[in-house]
Structure 1
């Protein structure tokens, strides 16, 4: 496993539609392992293959909190529902945060690293992260969906208010 360099905007690979994975081999397993190591090192919750220079339909999401890592090979969105606006960031856009409207619910079909098919339903933040990564595989970047740019200081103020209400520190 290796930590790879994260590709930053405006690198052309970020706006390409990625190729479907057809070989489920050791190379794919290594790519998924490298993506996980890279995402953790960058303190991210998701990463798509083009963000490390590979134009293939592979993405991962890990919300932590004891949840399993979601590995998505050739993911397809089969259903969406609801809508909410939340703040997002992206490892390929360091320092940029913005309010983005996305579905509250998503159902996908994807393949595991061994090629087996699975279906997954997700809501709220997990759905948002999955859709953000699938957008990357289609060459769609979150900056094109930003309704309002959010200054990072707004996060700090919100966290301080939460700490004061709860009487604790993070």
Structure 2
């Protein structure tokens, strides 16, 4: 396993659309393993492949050191109309948080690491984490839900962090 380099906002690679995984081979399995290692090292609960420079539809999640969840080519197939605001952060935008409106309940369809199609429901924090990570696969960041003023302020802070190399790598 290896710790991969995270890509930090405002790097334009975070805006790329990811491609579906066509074949789950040893290379994909190693990437998933490395993504978990990177996520744990950076104290995250979710990571999408674009955050480590790989434009494939792969997400790793582990909430509070429970069960590891691997979602390959994930799709939200249903969602509740009720939503709530939660304070979100992102490994690619360190030390920045904002209250974001997300659906409380979703149904997901994806492939697991064995290439088998899985469907399941998610609620609360798991639902929010999955929605956040699927956004990454579409080149969308949590700050895109904010006002232009707030986005500009965060971008300015991130540029300053990048300039002085204070982001842990």
Query: What is the TM-score when the length of structure 1 is the normalising length?
Result: 0.84
Paired with 2:145 and 2:62, the residues of 1 have a C-alpha distance of 22
Distance 2:88 2:127 in 1: 13
CA shift for structure 1 position 146: 3.2
CA contact (8 A) 1:17 1:55 kept: yes
Could you tell me which residue of structure 2 aligns to residue 88 of structure 1?
A: 88
Structure with bigger gyration radius = 1
Residue aligning to 2:125:
125
**Match of residue 73 from structure 2:** 74
1:25/1:114 contact within 8 Å kept: no
Provide Cα deviations, 1:58-89, integer angstroms capped at 9, x if missing partner: 01111025x31110000000011120001000
Q: Contact 1:14/1:51 (CA < 8 Å) preserved in 2?
A: yes
Q: Distance in 1 between matches of 2:89 and 2:24?
A: 31
Q: Which runs of 5+ in 2 are unaligned?
A: 151-169
Q: TM-score, normalised by structure 2?
A: 0.84
Equivalent position SS for 1:87: strand
Instruction: Give the equivalent residue in structure 1 for 2:137.
Output: 137
Structure 1 stretches of at least 4 aligned residues deviating more than 6 Å after TM superposition: none
Distance in 2 between the 1:131 and 1:137 partners? 10
Q: Does 1:102 align with 2:102?
A: yes
Within 1, Cα distance between the matches of 2:146 and 2:120?
Answer: 26
Task: For residue 23 of structure 1, report the CA deviation from its aligned partner.
Answer: 1.3
Residue 94 of structure 2 aligns to a residue whose secondary structure is coil
CA distance in structure 2 between the partners assigned to 1:104 and 1:12 by the alignment: 30
Q: Which aligned pairs between 1:23-38 and structure 2 lie closer than 5 A?
A: 23-38=23-38
1:95, distance to aligned residue in structure 2 (A): 1.2
Matched residues, number:
148
- Give 1:129 shift: 0.4
Q: CA RMSD in A?
A: 1.4
Shift of 1:3: 0.5
- In structure 1, stretches of 5+ residues that fail to align are 150-170
Cα deviation, 1:25-67, whole Å, max 9, x if unaligned, reads 00000000000000000000000000001000001111025x3
- SS of the counterpart of 1:115? coil
